[in-house]
A and B are shown apart, each in its own frame.
Chain A
């Protein structure tokens, strides 16, 4: 009798939990990248990545079913956008430029102001933001439950349906799959010195030079220190940046230093997309930026010859991934 009871319980457990794919995705982390931390309550699996990718391209994630994540994070632009401010539902505009999601999983704090503590809840921002997708996560959960194919896919990935826990974690899993080190610069770091053109190598030298000091902030293999700095873009900031979170006046105008990977694909630039081209960006830093009490002390201005300007551009263009993100 006891054996039969145990058998029945075991069968029930298999029925209830057997559908969840708990297989860990074998993560192919670039050797020169820092260790990517995966949360214990959201192990990375292929089924979650696939589900996240499907959600990423689904307009039903917006209140009026017009906007999907990929509307503002376009695969051919390294998952950024070519507009200063991407329109959201009903044509509404927010305040910030859409950032690239390549290697975004490494950020210790999420968002340009670092307001979000972890990637696993980041997707709530665009989904719920009035100016972006404009739907509460609870309403979205109810919407997705109406689609049996989603119910099945969530069941296989998480062992439960679409809800406020699983939807952002599926999207976070997809973002974690967007780790990339396929640039000519990575090959150069790996020892293939000829992967950078002579011009790009001269540009790298300028990039690391004390005078330009680019690598003071855009440091390490991810080309960002993930710190928050005021780069002298304005004398008066409409968007207070990090200060919105910290409530500190000495954080006004500070934004997270972005990675420069794929920077040639992610124009326009700055937190508000106010600089149209890399030429504009170089000109901004060469000028030393606007005066502001919080401006980074590293911004002192510099001068480049026309050739040096082209060399620096050549290096920045060598930060473009060779991986085609339009293909899964």
Chain B
């Protein structure tokens, strides 16, 4: 069985919700605005999109992230805690065999990384993951 990140997020939902609060105090509406800027305010569903990012960044200056969303015409990556949250938008033509985008992004601090896929039918899908940026040291 392949465990998708979506399932993990579902399993860890309680914990992650708490973690979100810790990293993004009182900025929930800011994030909603960031998402609305991508979707034009349309409803966003979870599922059908997989975001792979490390739990803890090995180097906050270059964090590998990968997004897979079959059927997407565009994928946007948001770093919600960065001064400029919109990292990149990948557009796919009809001849693209898979709808997968991967890149390395810079994260200023611990934050939610959000991936939004625009599907061929005009609907939107979202996945998110907390990436922790830490000082390091003290390793057991």
B is bound to A: no
Q: Which residues of A contact B (CB under 8 A)?
A: none
Q: Which residues of B contact A (CB under 8 A)?
A: none
